[in-house]
Amino acid sequence: MRLYIAEKPSVGRALAACLPAPHKKGAGWIETGGGVVTWLFGHVLRQAEPEEYDPKLKRWRAEDLPILPDEWRLVVNESAAQQFAVVKGLIERADEIVHGGDPDREGQLLVDEVLDYLGNEKPVRRILINALDDKSIHDALGDLRDNRDFLPLKRSALARARADWLIGMNLSRAYTLAVRRAGHDRLVLPIGRVKTPTLALVVRREREIENFKPATYYLLDAVFRYEKTGESFHARWKPSEERTPLDPEGRLVDEKAAQAALSSFGTEPQDAKITRYERKKKEEPPPLPFSLSALQVLAGKRYGYEPQQVLDTAQKLYEEKLTSYPRSDAEYLPVNQHKDAPKILGNLAALADTPLGAWAREADAKQKSRAWNDAKISAHHAIIPTTVPVNLARLSEVERNIYELIARAYIAQFHPNYVYDQTKVEVTYHGELFAASGRTERAAGWRVMYRTGKSESEDAEKEDEESAVLPPMKKGDAADYVSAELGTRQTKPPTRFTPATLLQGMKEIHKYVKDEAAKKMLRDVSGIGTEATRASIIEDLIRRKFLHAAGKKKVLTPTEAAYLLIDALPDTMTYPDATAVWEDRLHSMAQGEGTPEDFLAGQAAFARDLCAAALTATIAGGGGVPCPACGRGIMLKRKGKHGDFWGCSAFPQCRMTANDAGGKPDFTGKRIPRSAARASGPRPSAPAAPTYAPRGSYTPTADEQAEMDALFFGD
């Protein structure tokens, strides 16, 4: 029996529908003439919790950190136990298994970890389903591969999952205990290998805005007349740093110098010389089809959609068989997929009275853009429409907008390049340099599709400046100075992140890396996090109230808890340098370089160093009375089973406790549990005040320790 294991029920049902009849449905499986299809529910196995390795680890104690498993354990998720039993029974009956996880690292691990957990030794083949339409699945069925070819993907995903456990479990405990020692009662700091540097991006951006001081700078634009034709053109003064005071960004900030230059240019007019004239024909290919991140960023900027909303919508379009696999980090397409172009374009051309229809009818299905590149393809390709016709009227507004973005990017691959003349001119006048640039369109090509609605180009302002039409000139020709105008501008603070731009920052993390060597290395790496997790990371930071999203655009600002967390951690955790390098190593592992063991050894050392740093971390206090025993902790009022009492926030390292006296700690003596006194009578008077020795000198009673344990750690 051949057994197909899909990642989720929807994929399983679509796969079964493409296998020969007869079909027989069961509880968690479908039997077909071509084998049995079953499915998982995402991760049916989870990483074991610390207390599942050792029950004592349920209590959070600094002395137990870091927690470094000798052998990693997986546990069956309770919610998936029934389906897991179905899969287990079918594997035992199978002669051959076909791995049908999603075509990415996570999808590879999802099924592989089940096979490894059950000790499978039967042959395993791999099917890569990039879309759920019948044609795509039939093509995938005809191209089964050996699952061993994808071992590097599995190793990379496994290393990622275990690294996230090591960093998250250990540092969350270490720094939660640290902030509690500082008096931040009940505060929990979730720390993640990707989540924390992402939060730090927002915190640092907000501080840049808070500390920003606007500055005025000056621009001087001159008008020259080309002598041979009498045509006028504008050119901007490029002041020399040797003769004119400029700021570090090369801007003229001295008004007196600007006014002096303006006056001098108008006196004793001289002939101006064309010292450079360059005109080149240039071609710009269409933008590549979408990866998930690119789709999320553009949909966020154009429509204000949040990244998770875009992912959920793309997932629905995929399950409706209208678009290909959404969790893709690729922006390229396999060459053999080009044969589907006539069918896809034909379906889109049938959309009467729509821009998509008009653009598709003008497309050339034989054309092959740079997007068709097998060398850029791993397990999956860019998000594109499938061969299934779409009824736009049946889609919601959000679904329609996302589909149209995906379809437009696909159609653009079959339109000609944008062709234009790029002109650059330099003029010398009064010993000073003036420059101008212009762009003259020759053929709009694919750009006709991107001239509707709001501009989507980040360089739109720059393009406007370069759109001037300049007369044909030659180097050495003369020009006359006509006039000049002085303009002022103000520097602007950096803009706050939105979910879309923060996701873009995660993907383009090299822009925020301090180390120049790492920055250069990481330019071509897809950032921190994965296509599937970036949106959920941002959403979780908002849900946990580390980020506040305000307004229609969901502008992000950090909360007090965010400042506290980022300030408590060393730079190695909050700057993306280390995380970005780790992502690069994971990426390399997916290409066959490196092992999980070597990678995790580095992660363990990192966790060990930061757990040690947490013991002496400088954290802003949460208020309260300083502990007289250790001098580091804060005395916090507690409600115990014997009444109110005060305990040191540095517990269990410091075990100082005190009686409550009118809402304040009473340091005149050791607290006596109520159980040791008469049940209904007053508590005995306290003995003389002790002399407090250094940290650790006080030992609470068994009852007191139990109360503190319950309050800090719970059971």
Return the minimum-mean-pLDDT range out of 519-523, 527-531, 539-543: 519-523
Return the DSSP state at 185: T
What distance in Å separates the CA atoms of residue 236 and residue 657, rounded to the nearest whole number?
A: 73
Residue tagged active-site, from 175, 218, 318, 325? 325
State which amino acid sits at residue 74.
Answer: L
Return the minimum-mean-pLDDT range out of 213-217, 471-475, 680-684: 680-684
Who's near 696: CB < 8 A, 6+ residues apart? 630, 653, 654, 655
Residues 554-581 pLDDT 10s: 999 999 999 999 998 999 899 888 888 8
Average pLDDT of the segment spanning 130-151: 94
Q: Which two tokens stand for residue 438?
A: 């212009």
Average pLDDT of the segment spanning 187-198: 90
pLDDT at 389 (0 to 100): 96
Q: What are phi and psi of 589, to 5 degrees?
A: -60, -40
Q: Is the pLDDT of residue 452 over 60?
A: no
Q: Is the pLDDT of residue 370 over 70?
A: yes
Query: At 263, is the secondary structure helix, strand, or coil?
Result: helix
% of the chain exceeding 70 in pLDDT: 89
What distance in Å separates the CA atoms of residue 715 and residue 425, rounded to the nearest whole number?
A: 75
Residues 162-174 pLDDT 10s: 999 999 999 999 9
What distance in Å separates the CA atoms of residue 394 and residue 23, rounded to the nearest whole number?
A: 30
Residues 413-435 pLDDT 10s: 999 999 999 999 999 998 899 99
Maximum distance among all Cα pairs of the chain, rounded to whole angstroms: 112
Return the DSSP state at 688: P
Q: Is the pLDDT of residue 334 over 90?
A: yes
- The answer to whether residues 418 and 369 touch, using CB atoms and an 8 Å cutoff, is no
Residue 325 appears among annotated catalytic residues? yes
Other Cβ atoms within 10 Å of 171 Cβ, number: 26
Residue predicted with more confidence, 477 or 376: 477
pLDDT at 454 (0 to 100): 47
Which residue(s) pair with 646 in the sheet?
Answer: 637, 658
pLDDT-derived band at 670 (thresholds 50, 70, 90) equals low
Query: At 255, is the secondary structure helix, strand, or coil?
Result: helix
Q: Is the pLDDT of residue 99 over 60?
A: yes
Average pLDDT of the segment spanning 655-660: 84
Compute the mean pLDDT over every residue in the chain, rounded to the nearest whole number. 87
- The answer to whether residues 491 and 439 touch, using CB atoms and an 8 Å cutoff, is no
% of the chain exceeding 90 in pLDDT: 67
Most confident of 242-256, 288-302, 528-542: 288-302
pLDDT at 698 (0 to 100): 34
What distance in Å separates the CA atoms of residue 645 and residue 623, rounded to the nearest whole number?
A: 17
Other Cβ atoms within 10 Å of 8 Cβ, number: 17
pLDDT at 201 (0 to 100): 95
What separation in angstroms does the CA of 318 have from each of 98, 110, 584? 22, 19, 29
Residues 208-265 pLDDT 10s: 999 999 999 999 999 999 999 999 999 999 998 777 888 888 899 999 999 999 999 9
Residue 200's closest CA among 491, 514, 493, 458?
514
Residues 207-218 pLDDT 10s: 999 999 999 999
pLDDT at 133 (0 to 100): 92
Residue predicted with more confidence, 460 or 546: 546
- The answer to whether residues 3 and 98 touch, using CB atoms and an 8 Å cutoff, is yes
What distance in Å separates the CA atoms of residue 79 and residue 699, rounded to the nearest whole number?
A: 44
Q: Is the pLDDT of residue 608 over 80?
A: yes
Residue predicted with more confidence, 231 or 451: 231
Average pLDDT of the segment spanning 577-603: 90
pLDDT-derived band at 525 (thresholds 50, 70, 90) equals low
pLDDT at 514 (0 to 100): 76
Is the peptide bond preceding residue 385 cis, with omega within 30 degrees of 0?
no
What distance in Å separates the CA atoms of residue 105 and residue 333, rounded to the nearest whole number?
A: 18
Computed on alpha carbons and rounded to an integer, the radius of gyration of the chain in Å comes to 33
Query: At 652, is the secondary structure helix, strand, or coil?
Result: coil
pLDDT at 624 (0 to 100): 67
Residues 32-77 pLDDT 10s: 999 999 999 988 999 999 999 999 999 889 999 999 999 999 999 9
What distance in Å separates the CA atoms of residue 143 and residue 140, rounded to the nearest whole number?
A: 5
Is the peptide bond preceding residue 286 cis, with omega within 30 degrees of 0?
no
Q: What are phi and psi of 266, to 5 degrees?
A: -85, -10
Q: Is the pLDDT of residue 458 over 60?
A: no
pLDDT-derived band at 652 (thresholds 50, 70, 90) equals low
Average pLDDT of the segment spanning 447-460: 64
State which amino acid sits at residue 437.
Answer: S
